[in-house]
Amino acid sequence: NAGVMQNPRHLVRRRGQEARLRCSPMKGHSHVYWYRQLPEEGLKFMVYLQKENIIDESGMPKERFSAEFPKEGPSILRIQQVVRGDSAAYFCASSPYGTGDTTGELFFGEGSRLTVL
């Protein structure tokens, strides 16, 4: 499967625990985006990364959330000390292009659904 791969598909955590969501972009894509979808809401941009660099994290909550995209391996979205309000679907998307791209198309994974008890 050459698509964007996210795991786990479903994750249940208790308040105060840590959640780690992983995303492997499509082959050949070096640009990764994370979005969050709260119930009854649209997709909210969180962070945009290239390999080893955070390009734009303007949508990330200032505390408890972090993201990385190492030279080797998947991109990781990490949520520390989860609270019930973090329950959402987290979507990763990738793109072969960055600034100056004329298509704007992002390829999305199937999402990771986090439930905080």
Q: Which positions lie near another protein, rule CB under 8 A?
A: 4, 6, 31, 33, 35, 40-45, 48, 55-56, 59, 91, 93, 95, 97-111
Provide the minimum distance between the beta carbon of 75 and another protein in the complex, in angstroms, as a whole number: 14
Give the nearer residue to another protein in terms of CB position, either 6 or 24. Answer: 6
Q: Which is nearer to another protein, 14 or 114 (CB)?
A: 114
Q: How far is the CB of 71 from another protein (least distance, A)?
A: 20
Closest distance of CB 110 from another protein, Å: 5
Distance CA 18, CA 68 (A): 15
What is the rounded CA–CA span in Å between residue 32 and residue 96? 9
* Beta carbon nearer to another protein, 28 or 42: 42
Q: What residues are paired with 36 via a beta bridge?
A: 44, 90
